[in-house]
Structure 1
């Protein structure tokens, strides 16, 4: 009996010489047409680096296992900085923006994907609950790092702060300790000196002092006198504007009404400039908020509880560059409550609403609202921060641990 037709095909494949795969040479591309007698195609290291810079941070974490040279490259601080700059400049959505939140102290800490929430709001977005950090609160975010506050309970209870990269799991070795801590004011980055800094207000012998702590192996601190934090309006968390090395608040001025109060983290000095609309006698403005939209300082306020005005400052520190971005109507289910714009994705503004606690999407083109679903449903409030997944190393990082990974 003659063998079936596919028998000869199987025999031919079985006798074919196997492909040569070189594990320790990732620079060479494999092809189904390459045999042992042919050299494998070669990619220069410079081109490989350019390709890797265009991949998401989470993918790069897995690619570190390919070989030693890739691990060395991807783990370097310079590559992390270049990757951050490329991902945020080319297409911020490629940097895996996520929403981190906490609601009250010891009452919830977690995060979720912004892409998932915006692209399919009708499908529940999975919330990652970080129960091991229930006693942590977020002070601010910058370059993929979260500045966290936590209390150390013992004979002498003290307040500490440390930096954490949720994507890599790395955190700072040394934490900033504020024994006479009163309130946290903000977290940002000094790009001139390549330092991350924390601003707090402390009370010592009935005197209030503003201190700027620098995250390093032995955290340093410097006191600054004359900072008018007692006149700050609304949320006392400073808004960090990328590229400016400034933290910003709204404060009341006896003569000029409300002003933007700006603290320069490089010079460690402060200045003030005006808001787009400013009438100290106008009682129709409620709950003014500063935020960052498209890497610009933004200002929003409620007008007569009927609509929210959103302005952006296109050129930082130049009042004439204030530009009206949107007028968002107040819905019956959202009126009379504080809200905070968080991020612009395409033609949508992501907004956090305090009560009822939820995330809202407002379409800038057609004026429609969407109410994305989160699973499980967290209690978010206004303690919400956007961070972009990155490979940036916290100063003097430690490896992840079971207690703080």
Structure 2
């Protein structure tokens, strides 16, 4: 049982001091001891909001009042908002990845990767008897999927920082590659949107993670028209999932799913001429909390655009033009960037981290001088890579007693 923070002060023996000097009468002005410094609860809360999540987990042991505060859902939400908006470094951004063919996945620190790319990055590995697949990340939570007998799918939420692992929810039917995970901040619900095939019936469904999970069909996503890697991109603060799709006019557009209203809308992309066949491998991502668009132009350059104001096509702004490298003698493991999809992952200072899809490589590109660096985490990165920010978020869901086994090399 935890003791109050002044427990040891009360149990400590009094200290006796003898001074061999004549005693003098005390002045009337110091007949009472001076009051001890005092921090209000509001000030303590403001200080704690500015600390990293892992430090806060340790500080829960200081006293019961701190434990109650730090463990509250409102504090977790306020800390997440402060860390991602005011000071993203507090949220300790990390890279999570998984392999299709291996029972396990791992993660590593973004900071160490950017600050010292030439040094092998320490990777934390996780294994479990189920072959988990990471299908999305949001607010420090990873949405995990695993199959059973090729019929049913099970999804659960996991917070690697706190160790929260929710009980599995059943998703019946065969998954298609079109899916997305995000947060409805209006109703405080985490949702999974997916196309499933059940008894030859293709439907778009939304699964809501809550005490009484809901599962309902919504307006169908045009499966055959979705382009790129078909993973719905969640944009923080907008409650939307986004895909690239090709309209009947052959023009590329953004298909946006509002997770609050559970309805679709669309808006245009930059440089999406339907008659220009040089725009290939189009896909979306998130950079600096904004929707971003990346495509390959004539197999010579990758163009990266960001949408400064969500849903406003006029706010599309060109961020970078990344040249496609040939095979380099010093880096035989790196394929021609023109032959593979390039997925921008994160911007740190003047460097942008990109993943080469379908390989195990990641690349750092300097936005100022156009130079490349090729960090090599150990082990190599898997097929799918996600950025997540450490948080204290714990949805009000039943938690599993089983834990994912951690292996730290």
- TM-score bracket, normalised by the shorter chain, equals 0.7 to 0.9
- CA pair 52-25 structure 1, distance change in 2 beyond 3 A: farther
Contact 1:122 1:372 in 2 (8 A): yes
Q: Does 1:116 align with 2:112?
A: yes
- CA pair 237-25 structure 1, distance change in 2 beyond 3 A: farther
Equivalent residue, structure 2, for 1:378: 380
Please report the RMSD computed on the Cα atoms of aligned residues, expressed in angstroms. 2.2
Equivalent residue, structure 1, for 2:200: 206
Structure 2: runs of 5 or more not aligned: 9-16, 18-32, 328-335
**Cα offset for 1:289?**
1.4
Equivalent residue, structure 1, for 2:356: 353
Q: 1:364 aligns with which of 357, 364, 367?
A: 367
How far apart in 2 are the matches of 1:144 and 1:270? 26
Equivalent residue, structure 2, for 1:24: 6
How far apart in 2 are the matches of 1:230 and 1:290? 17
Contact 2:365 2:373 in 1 (8 A): yes
Q: 2:61 aligns with which of 61, 65, 74?
A: 65
- CA deviation map 1:66-102 (0-9, x unaligned): 1111111100000000100111111212210000011
Q: 2:135 aligns with which of 136, 139, 155?
A: 139
TM-score by length of 1: 0.86
Q: 2:340 aligns with which of 318, 334, 337?
A: 337
Q: 1:244 aligns with which of 238, 243, 253?
A: 238
Q: Does 1:177 align with 2:170?
A: yes
Equivalent residue, structure 2, for 1:192: 186
Please, which moves more after superposition, 127-136 or 70-79? 127-136
- CA deviation map 1:322-349 (0-9, x unaligned): 1101101111133212110001111110
Contact 2:195 2:221 in 1 (8 A): no
Equivalent residue, structure 1, for 2:397: 396
Q: Deviating runs (4+, > 6 A) in structure 1?
A: none
Contact 1:106 1:134 in 2 (8 A): no
The equivalences for 1:215-294 within 5 A come to 215-294=209-288
Contact 1:142 1:387 in 2 (8 A): yes
- CA pair 379-56 structure 1, distance change in 2 beyond 3 A: closer
Task: Give the length in aligned residue pairs.
Answer: 371
Q: 1:91 aligns with which of 79, 84, 87?
A: 87
Secondary structure of the corresponding residue to residue 275 of structure 2: coil
Contact 1:105 1:137 in 2 (8 A): no
TM-score by length of 2: 0.86
How far apart in 2 are the matches of 1:400 and 1:50? 33
